[in-house]
Chain A
Amino acid sequence: MILQQYANPARFTRLSDRLMPFIAWPAALFLAAGLYFALFASPADYQQGDTVRIMYIHVPAAWMAMFVYTSMALSSAVGLIWRHPLAHLAAQAAAPVGAGFTFLCLLTGSLWGKPMWGTWWVWDARLTSVLVLFFLYLGFIALKDAFDDPARGERAAAILALVGFVNVPVIKFSVDWWNTLHQPASVIKMTGPAIHSSMLIPLLLMAAGFTFYFGALLLVRMKTLMLARRARGMAMAQTGGHAAAGRPGTAEIAP
C-alpha cells in the first residue's frame, strides 16, 4: 500500500524535504506575481473603487479557511477510521494555520465592509458562519491538548473536526440560502465566473500562492510535530521511563 509507505515518519520526512523546493518556490512566485497584479496591474472597480483590491487578500483567505478545514476533517476521518499515524498529525499541523486564514478573512472583510457597507461587522449568515468556523478551529486546538492522554485528545479533536464540517457547506451557500449583506459567489458558480479577467487573474494568482504557501507550511509543521514526538520518546528513554508505547516515531528509539 502506497499510503502505508508514507506512514513511516522517516520516509515522509525524506519525501517532504525533496518536495519542499517545488512547493515553496511556486508559493513565493505566485504571491509576488499576485501582489503585482493586485496592486498595480488591475483596475479599480466601477462601483467599489480601489477597495476591490482588498478582495485579492480576503477571498483567497476565505477559500483557504474552508479548504484547510475540509482537509483537516478529511485527515481526521482517515485518522479515526484507518488509524493512519500521520493523519492526526496533519490535522494538528494544519489547524493553527487554518485559524490564521480565517482570522485574516474576517479582518480584511471588516476593513472592506466599513467603506462599502458602512459597518465593520453585521450578524448576517455569511459573516456569522465564518466566525463559527474560526471558533471551530480554536476548539479543535484546545480539545487536542485537553486530555492527559494525547491519544484521547487526538480522537476528541478529530470528532469535533468531523462534526464541525457541517459548517463548511453552510458558509458556501449562506449567501444563497439567506438574505445577506455579503455579495453572492462570483467565481465558483455554475454559470462560470462573473468577474472580468483583469480581476480574475490577480485573484487566481493570489489563490495559487496561498495554496502553495499552505502546502509548504504544512510540511514544515508536520516535520516539527514528528520531531517533537521523537524528542519526547528519547527524553523518556533517557530518564529510564517507558517511551510512550505505540506512539509512532518513538517506538524505534526505545531501548
Chain B
Amino acid sequence: MTEFLASDFLAMGGHGSFIWPAYAVGLIVLGGFWIASIRGLRAKEREIAALEKNTPHRGHTGNGTSS
C-alpha cells in the first residue's frame, strides 16, 4: 500500500486543473438550485401568511400550506 498524500490527491495525476473545476461546477449548480428553490418556497410562504393576515374572511385553512 502506498501512503496517502494530499498533494498527490489534489494533483490528480496532473489533471487536477480539469477535474476539480468539474466537481466545483457540479457543486455550484446542484447546491445553487437547492438553496434558491428553498428560498423561493420560504418567500412564497411568507407572502401567503401576510396575505392571510389581511383577509377578513376565513374558512380555507385546509390548504396544507400553513400549519
Given contacts A10-B63, A104-B29, A107-B25, contact A54 B18 (CB under 8 A): yes
State A165–B41 Cα separation when bound (angstroms).
Answer: 30
Asked whether, in the complex, the Cβ of A238 is within 8 Å of the Cβ of B38, the reply is no
Asked whether, in the complex, the Cβ of B57 is within 8 Å of the Cβ of A50, the reply is no
- Minimum CB–CB distance from A238 to chain B (whole Å) comes to 6
The yes or no answer to A103 lying at the interface (CB within 8 A) is: yes
Main secondary structure of the interface of A (DSSP, over half): helix
Contact with B along A229-255 (1 / 0, CB 8 A): 011001101100000000000001101
Q: Which residues of A contact B54 (CB under 8 A)?
A: 238
State A231–B65 Cα separation when bound (angstroms).
Answer: 12
Stretch in A82-90, A135-143, A168-176, A218-226 with 4+ CB within 8 Å of B? A218-226
Q: Which residues of A contact B64 (CB under 8 A)?
A: 10-11, 13-14, 17
Asked whether, in the complex, the Cβ of A108 is within 8 Å of the Cβ of B22, the reply is yes
The yes or no answer to A32 lying at the interface (CB within 8 A) is: no
State A51–B48 Cα separation when bound (angstroms).
Answer: 48
The yes or no answer to A144 lying at the interface (CB within 8 A) is: no
Asked whether, in the complex, the Cβ of A235 is within 8 Å of the Cβ of B51, the reply is yes
A residues near B, CB below 8 A?
A: 9-11, 13-14, 17, 31, 39, 44, 49-51, 53-54, 57-58, 61, 96-97, 100-101, 103-104, 107-108, 111-112, 114-115, 210, 213, 217, 220-221, 223-224, 226-228, 230-231, 234-235, 237-238, 252-253, 255
Report 19 cross-chain contacts, Cβ distance below 8 Å, ordered by A residue.
Answer: A10-B63, A17-B64, A44-B13, A50-B13, A51-B18, A54-B18, A61-B26, A104-B25, A107-B22, A108-B26, A111-B19, A111-B21, A217-B34, A221-B37, A224-B40, A227-B48, A230-B65, A231-B51, A255-B57
- Minimum CB–CB distance from B64 to chain A (whole Å) comes to 4
State A235–B51 Cα separation when bound (angstroms).
Answer: 7
Asked whether, in the complex, the Cβ of B51 is within 8 Å of the Cβ of A224, the reply is no
State A39–B41 Cα separation when bound (angstroms).
Answer: 33
